Amino acid sequence: MLNNWYDWVGTFTGVVALAVLSLPIAVVTAGLLGWRRKVTGAAHPWRTAVAEVGLVYGTVPWVWMTLLPGNEPGKHGVVTLVPLADLLSWDRGQIIGNLLIFAPLGFFAPLRFSSLASLGHVLMLAAGCSTFIEVAQYVLLLDRVSSVDDVLLNTVGAGLASMLSYRWWRTPVHSFA
């Protein structure tokens, strides 16, 4: 049961519950932001509003979960730098979770920022963000496993999601082709 503040923000169950409960707020926020931008004459008001809210709503809770401490906070966790070493021992849920953590980033970032409207840019952004999380888990003494396989799966998930939104990427105003 979620009885106190820590239960809400310091446990996987609490973070998921907050994400589910905040969905109506995210939808209303995107609607109001899109409406305001439309009234003021902004370009692509609905796409940018949905992309911004989707980027934050779809990424922040899961990144927060990756930064929750393990069983012995204050202790360095394990570091694995050999690609595909951990992946073979992970269960399906862990693999799917790693693929999904930056999927909203990969899907929405190219819709919002034309400079990210290429698969290579999305992959670099996701790899950088994922590497930052893995380093933070180690540096903050969270007793978590920092693995290159996490970075690989997070990056692949963002790349696959970006390909799903490819048809809606906007063409840059100035093309040098």
What pTM did the predictor assign? 0.87
Same domain? 50 vs 78: no
Same domain? 145 vs 86: yes
62 within some domain = no
6 within some domain = yes
Same domain? 111 vs 163: yes
DSSP class per residue in 34-90: HHHHHHTT-SSHHHHHHHHHHHHHHHHHHHHHHTS--SSTTB---EE-STTTTGGG-
Backbone phi, psi, residue 79, to 5°: -115, 125
85 within some domain = yes
Same domain? 170 vs 110: yes
**What is the mean pLDDT for each group of 10 consecutive residues in the chain (177 residues)?**
84 93 97 96 91 96 93 84 90 94 97 92 98 95 93 98 89 43
- pLDDT at site 171: 55
- pLDDT at site 127: 98
How many angstroms from the chain centroid is the CA of residue 23? Answer: 16
63 within some domain = no
Same domain? 48 vs 120: no
Total structural domains within the chain: 2
24 is in which domain, residue-wise? Answer: 1-57
- pLDDT at site 23: 97
How many angstroms from the chain centroid is the CA of residue 14? Answer: 18
- pLDDT at site 128: 98
Same domain? 111 vs 134: yes
Helices vs strands, H then E, count in the chain: 8, 2
- pLDDT at site 170: 66
